[in-house]
Amino acid sequence: MGRTIVEKIWADHVVHRGDSGEPDLLYVDLHLVHEVSSPQAFDGLRSAGRPVRRPDLTLATMDHNVPTDPLMVRGEVPHDDPASVEQIEALRRNCRDFGVPLFPMGSLNQGIVHVIGPELGLSQPGMVIVCGDSHTSTHGALGALAFGIGTSEVEHVLATQTLPQRPPRTMAVEIVGTRAAGTTAKDLILRILNVIGVDGGRDHVVEYRGQAIGDLSMEERMTVCNMTIEGGARAGVIAPDETTFAYLEGRPYAPVGEAWQAALSQWRQLASDPDATFARTVQIDASSVAPYVTWGTTPAQSVPITAVVPDPANAPDEMTADQWRRALEYQGLRPGMAMTDVHVDKVFIGSCTNARLTDLRAAAEVIRGRRLAEGVTALVVPGSGSVKRAAEAEGLHRIFEEAGFQWREPGCSMCLGMNPDVVQPGERCASTSNRNFEGRQGPRSRTHLVSPAMAAAAAIHGRFVDVRDDVEA
């Protein structure tokens, strides 16, 4: 019987097949570590007297709580949050004590953990990749089985390089047709989430399939796989193809010479077999995708920019109606309001969803030669030091700065409200990040998730606009 890509990767990584009700023991090829979910795991190792089993398969960076203000990163202005400094220092100490490679704040390759893995060529097809962060699903774009774990599991992987896991079911999300002009990978994933809901993928791994997926660039695939977790699936995967191989070839950690050929011949076997069976299949028409904006407080609560804020009276059930009412109250919106009448105070272009070079290019394209709307504050935060330098080499930073945007150092920044970059209480933010939960960007912050081009257009107009109509005369 045919196997799915997930079943193939699984079979390649089973160290011990679980018998008598035990889970399988799965080998981990790459363990990414950051400052927030790791200190308690390292302390656990210390108190049990355990070493890190494979420091050579472990890479740490600092991203969640680091400041992105260049003066603060360079130490010219003090980082005045002692708890953050302590957490950053703890990672430095833990990496030193346990021999784990680290890209610290201010180093050339530091960046958001899910940006640096692929860009260094460390995330490769057929691997099992974990990190104490739910957006680890990003790396599935390269054909890896990649998922987020908790701190106890971080400790487990540090100690044993394995994880006890039950085999997941695979849900196929098939995108038929071709994507409409003027829409992005972000709009596609927001549409997918809108269809399957925030728990539609629970207990499954999602495999994205179909022509419109094959047509995506690697960075676009990362945006799609990144937000898979917002649909409840721990991992999203796309079968590796020529786009994947071309992306990987020549990257610092990609195999070379004979090793490249050996890898390639294995990677070409990974795609799901034609007769593989999926636990569930969802079909979505790519031509139904428009620029999307979230209106509520879950990533599935979204509408096309041409639509109005929905009415709880039309919710599918009473619990959902309650949830919508609460979301509208929190967001300060009324049913029936046009999304294009919603004004913004802040704009954030960044995060592991949309802080890669092509994202910054798309935003820069919209704002070239224009100015921020009065009263709007806008941040552009590259996903890594490498993205930042590449963007600067193209002059993108000048386009942003001339438009009045702040050009920052790499980090998670305004995505999650645990570093100096926050949305103030009651403020509304157009954000290219992944979560619009209550308080996500700071206490009482109001978040609307959009693509980089839509965020850029919102910054110029001070409200949401349809970026497809936003052509300079």
**Beta carbon nearer to another protein, 55 or 462:** 55
Least Å from the CB of residue 371 to another protein: 27
**Beta carbon nearer to another protein, 68 or 183:** 68
From residue 220, alpha-carbon distances to 138, 311, 312 in Å are: 10, 32, 33
- What value does the CA radius of gyration of the chain take, rounded to a whole number of Å? 22
Least Å from the CB of residue 318 to another protein: 11
**Beta carbon nearer to another protein, 290 or 379:** 379
Least Å from the CB of residue 19 to another protein: 11
Least Å from the CB of residue 402 to another protein: 22
Question: Both tokens of residue 76?
Answer: 């010219």
258's CB contacts (< 8 A; 6+ apart) are: none
Measured distance CA(174)–CA(180) in Å, rounded: 16
Least Å from the CB of residue 387 to another protein: 7
Residue of 395, 372, 359 whose CA lies nearest to 457: 372
Least Å from the CB of residue 473 to another protein: 32
**Beta carbon nearer to another protein, 288 or 437:** 437
**Beta carbon nearer to another protein, 183 or 386:** 386
Residue of 429, 436, 435 whose CA lies nearest to 454: 429
Measured distance CA(180)–CA(175) in Å, rounded: 12
**Beta carbon nearer to another protein, 164 or 177:** 164
Least Å from the CB of residue 1 to another protein: 25
Which three-class secondary structure string do you get for 33-94? ECCCCCHHHHHHHHHHCCCCCCHHHEEEECCCCCCCCHHHHCCCCCCCCHHHHHHHHHHHHH
Bridge partners of 430? 347, 448
Helix, strand, coil percentages (3-state) for the chain, rounded to 5, are 40, 15, 45
